[in-house]
Protein backbone atom coordinates (compact mmCIF):
# COMPACT_ATOMS: atom_id res chain seq x y z
CA UNK A 1 0.00 0.00 0.00
CA UNK A 2 1.35 3.42 -0.93
CA UNK A 3 1.04 6.04 1.79
CA UNK A 4 0.01 9.41 0.39
CA UNK A 5 2.32 12.08 1.73
CA UNK A 6 1.26 15.72 2.15
CA UNK A 7 2.90 18.13 -0.25
CA UNK A 8 5.55 20.24 1.36
CA UNK A 9 8.40 22.53 0.52
CA UNK A 10 11.79 22.85 2.17
CA UNK A 11 12.36 26.59 2.52
CA UNK A 12 15.80 27.36 3.94
CA UNK A 13 18.32 26.66 6.71
CA UNK A 14 20.41 28.88 8.96
CA UNK A 15 22.60 28.80 12.05
CA UNK A 16 20.70 28.96 15.34
CA UNK A 17 22.99 29.60 18.31
CA UNK A 18 21.31 28.71 21.62
CA UNK A 19 22.25 28.57 25.30
CA UNK A 20 22.93 24.84 24.81
CA UNK A 21 24.99 25.04 21.64
CA UNK A 22 24.84 25.93 17.98
CA UNK A 23 22.04 24.23 16.08
CA UNK A 24 20.84 24.68 12.52
CA UNK A 25 17.19 25.55 11.93
CA UNK A 26 15.44 24.21 8.82
CA UNK A 27 12.11 25.61 7.62
CA UNK A 28 9.34 23.61 5.95
CA UNK A 29 5.87 24.58 4.73
CA UNK A 30 2.92 22.37 3.82
CA UNK A 31 0.61 23.04 0.91
CA UNK A 32 -1.96 24.22 3.47
CA UNK A 33 0.44 27.00 4.49
CA UNK A 34 1.25 25.43 7.85
CA UNK A 35 4.89 26.01 8.78
CA UNK A 36 7.17 23.68 10.73
CA UNK A 37 10.85 23.69 11.65
CA UNK A 38 13.57 21.16 12.43
CA UNK A 39 16.60 21.80 14.60
CA UNK A 40 19.68 19.74 13.79
CA UNK A 41 22.89 19.44 15.78
CA UNK A 42 26.16 17.88 14.72
CA UNK A 43 26.72 15.46 11.86
CA UNK A 44 25.91 11.81 11.23
CA UNK A 45 26.29 9.07 8.66
CA UNK A 46 23.29 7.53 6.90
CA UNK A 47 23.90 4.29 8.83
CA UNK A 48 23.80 6.05 12.24
CA UNK A 49 20.88 5.78 14.64
CA UNK A 50 20.01 9.45 15.15
CA UNK A 51 18.38 10.63 18.40
CA UNK A 52 15.28 12.67 17.58
CA UNK A 53 12.37 14.32 19.34
CA UNK A 54 9.02 15.14 17.70
CA UNK A 55 7.75 18.11 19.66
CA UNK A 56 4.34 19.67 19.09
CA UNK A 57 4.19 23.40 19.64
CA UNK A 58 3.08 24.51 23.11
CA UNK A 59 3.27 28.28 23.48
CA UNK A 60 2.29 28.20 27.14
CA UNK A 61 4.84 25.56 28.09
CA UNK A 62 7.64 26.24 25.60
CA UNK A 63 7.72 30.05 25.73
CA UNK A 64 5.65 31.15 28.75
CA UNK A 65 7.09 28.67 31.29
CA UNK A 66 3.75 27.08 32.23
CA UNK A 67 3.94 24.17 34.67
CA UNK A 68 0.46 22.82 33.97
CA UNK A 69 2.01 20.62 31.26
CA UNK A 70 5.47 19.09 30.81
CA UNK A 71 6.07 20.40 27.28
CA UNK A 72 8.62 23.10 28.02
CA UNK A 73 10.55 20.79 30.33
CA UNK A 74 10.64 18.07 27.67
CA UNK A 75 11.72 20.50 24.95
CA UNK A 76 14.68 21.65 27.03
CA UNK A 77 15.60 18.10 28.06
CA UNK A 78 15.45 16.82 24.47
CA UNK A 79 17.77 19.57 23.22
CA UNK A 80 20.16 18.88 26.10
CA UNK A 81 20.13 15.16 25.28
CA UNK A 82 20.95 15.88 21.64
CA UNK A 83 23.87 18.12 22.56
CA UNK A 84 25.15 15.52 25.02
CA UNK A 85 25.06 12.85 22.31
CA UNK A 86 26.86 15.14 19.87
CA UNK A 87 24.23 14.93 17.13
CA UNK A 88 20.49 14.72 16.65
CA UNK A 89 17.30 16.34 15.40
CA UNK A 90 14.27 17.99 16.96
CA UNK A 91 11.19 18.27 14.75
CA UNK A 92 9.03 21.16 15.95
CA UNK A 93 5.50 20.79 14.60
CA UNK A 94 2.97 23.61 14.73
CA UNK A 95 0.19 21.57 16.34
CA UNK A 96 -0.77 23.61 19.40
CA UNK A 97 -3.00 21.92 21.98
CA UNK A 98 -2.74 18.45 20.41
CA UNK A 99 -4.05 20.00 17.21
CA UNK A 100 -6.95 22.16 18.45
CA UNK A 101 -5.09 25.49 18.36
CA UNK A 102 -4.03 28.00 20.99
CA UNK A 103 -7.37 29.67 21.75
CA UNK A 104 -9.22 26.38 21.95
CA UNK A 105 -6.48 25.14 24.28
CA UNK A 106 -7.19 28.10 26.56
CA UNK A 107 -10.90 27.20 26.43
CA UNK A 108 -9.92 23.64 27.38
CA UNK A 109 -7.80 24.96 30.24
CA UNK A 110 -10.85 26.83 31.52
CA UNK A 111 -12.85 23.60 31.52
CA UNK A 112 -10.00 21.84 33.31
CA UNK A 113 -10.06 24.57 35.96
CA UNK A 114 -13.71 23.55 36.52
CA UNK A 115 -12.82 19.89 37.05
CA UNK A 116 -12.53 18.20 33.65
CA UNK A 117 -9.38 16.38 32.62
CA UNK A 118 -7.55 17.23 29.39
CA UNK A 119 -9.32 14.55 27.33
CA UNK A 120 -12.78 15.43 28.65
CA UNK A 121 -12.17 19.12 27.95
CA UNK A 122 -11.15 18.55 24.33
CA UNK A 123 -14.12 16.28 23.74
CA UNK A 124 -16.51 18.74 25.42
CA UNK A 125 -15.35 21.34 22.87
CA UNK A 126 -16.18 18.93 20.04
CA UNK A 127 -12.66 17.69 19.27
CA UNK A 128 -11.02 14.29 19.40
CA UNK A 129 -8.62 13.82 22.28
CA UNK A 130 -5.63 14.09 19.91
CA UNK A 131 -5.84 15.58 16.41
CA UNK A 132 -2.12 15.62 15.63
CA UNK A 133 -0.61 14.24 12.43
CA UNK A 134 2.98 13.15 11.99
CA UNK A 135 2.92 12.60 8.23
CA UNK A 136 5.35 15.40 7.45
CA UNK A 137 8.00 13.95 9.79
CA UNK A 138 9.15 11.40 7.20
CA UNK A 139 9.63 14.12 4.62
CA UNK A 140 11.57 16.29 7.08
CA UNK A 141 13.79 13.40 8.13
CA UNK A 142 14.45 12.48 4.49
CA UNK A 143 15.56 16.04 3.80
CA UNK A 144 17.99 15.85 6.71
CA UNK A 145 19.19 12.40 5.56
CA UNK A 146 18.06 10.60 8.70
CA UNK A 147 17.24 6.94 8.09
CA UNK A 148 17.19 5.34 11.56
CA UNK A 149 16.11 7.01 14.77
CA UNK A 150 16.11 6.70 18.51
CA UNK A 151 12.85 8.45 19.39
CA UNK A 152 12.69 10.49 22.59
CA UNK A 153 9.06 10.17 23.67
CA UNK A 154 6.63 8.74 26.20
CA UNK A 155 3.98 8.43 23.49
CA UNK A 156 3.95 5.04 21.69
CA UNK A 157 1.62 6.51 19.05
CA UNK A 158 4.53 8.55 17.72
CA UNK A 159 6.54 5.35 17.30
CA UNK A 160 3.69 3.68 15.48
CA UNK A 161 3.16 6.72 13.22
CA UNK A 162 6.82 6.86 12.18
CA UNK A 163 6.99 3.13 11.54
CA UNK A 164 3.88 3.28 9.34
CA UNK A 165 5.56 6.07 7.36
CA UNK A 166 8.61 3.91 6.75
CA UNK A 167 10.97 5.43 9.32
CA UNK A 168 13.18 2.85 11.05
CA UNK A 169 12.67 3.33 14.79
CA UNK A 170 15.55 1.48 16.44
CA UNK A 171 14.64 2.44 20.01
CA UNK A 172 12.42 4.59 22.19
CA UNK A 173 14.05 6.73 24.89
CA UNK A 174 11.71 7.82 27.72
CA UNK A 175 11.68 11.51 28.52
CA UNK A 176 10.09 11.65 31.98
CA UNK A 177 11.04 15.18 32.92
CA UNK A 178 9.41 18.20 34.51
CA UNK A 179 6.78 16.48 36.66
CA UNK A 180 5.28 19.06 39.04
CA UNK A 181 2.35 19.32 41.45
CA UNK A 182 0.57 21.35 38.76
CA UNK A 183 0.78 18.73 36.01
CA UNK A 184 0.60 15.36 37.80
CA UNK A 185 -3.12 14.95 37.12
CA UNK A 186 -2.57 15.93 33.47
CA UNK A 187 0.21 13.34 33.13
CA UNK A 188 -1.89 10.65 34.81
CA UNK A 189 -4.66 11.36 32.31
CA UNK A 190 -2.22 11.06 29.40
CA UNK A 191 -1.06 7.73 30.83
CA UNK A 192 -4.51 6.30 31.51
CA UNK A 193 -6.45 7.68 28.52
CA UNK A 194 -3.86 8.35 25.82
CA UNK A 195 -1.47 5.47 26.42
CA UNK A 196 1.62 7.48 27.35
CA UNK A 197 4.34 5.46 29.06
CA UNK A 198 5.28 7.30 32.25
CA UNK A 199 6.94 5.66 35.20
CA UNK A 200 3.95 5.27 37.57
CA UNK A 201 6.15 5.80 40.63
CA UNK A 202 6.87 9.34 39.42
CA UNK A 203 3.17 10.20 39.32
CA UNK A 204 2.28 9.24 42.90
Binding site for Zn(2+): residue ranges?
58, 69, 71
Known catalytic membership, residue 130: yes
d(CA 199, CA 17): 33
Clarify whether 117 is annotated catalytic. no
Find out whether 173 and 88 touch, Cβ atoms under 8 Å.
no
| Residues contributing to the annotated binding site | 53-58, 69, 71, 74, 96-98, 118, 153, 158
Gyration radius of the chain's alpha carbons: 17
Instruction: Say how many C-beta atoms besides its own lie within 10 A of residue 33's C-beta.
Output: 6
Residue 121 buriedness (CB in 10 A; 0-12 / 13-18 / 19+) = buried
Distance set, CA 143 to CA 1, 11, 22, 61, 102 (Å):
23, 11, 20, 28, 29
Tell me, what DSSP letter sits at residue 133? Answer: -
Which among 94, 130, 135, 142 is annotated as catalytic?
Answer: 130
DSSP 8-state class, residue 3: P
Q: Give the residue numbers of the binding site for GTP.
A: 53-57, 74, 96-98, 118, 153, 158
**Catalytically annotated residue among 70, 117, 132, 176:** 132
CA-nearest of 56, 55, 59, 58 to 81 is: 55
Environment class of 4 (CB within 10 Å of its CB; exposed 0-12, middle 13-18, buried 19+): exposed
Catalytic residues, which ones? 130, 132
Amino acid sequence: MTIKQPKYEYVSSAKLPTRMGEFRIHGFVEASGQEHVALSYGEWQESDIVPIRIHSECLTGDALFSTRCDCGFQLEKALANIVERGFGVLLYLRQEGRGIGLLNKIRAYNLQDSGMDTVEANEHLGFDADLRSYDICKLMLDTLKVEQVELMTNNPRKMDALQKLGVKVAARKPIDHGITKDNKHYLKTKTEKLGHAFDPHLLK
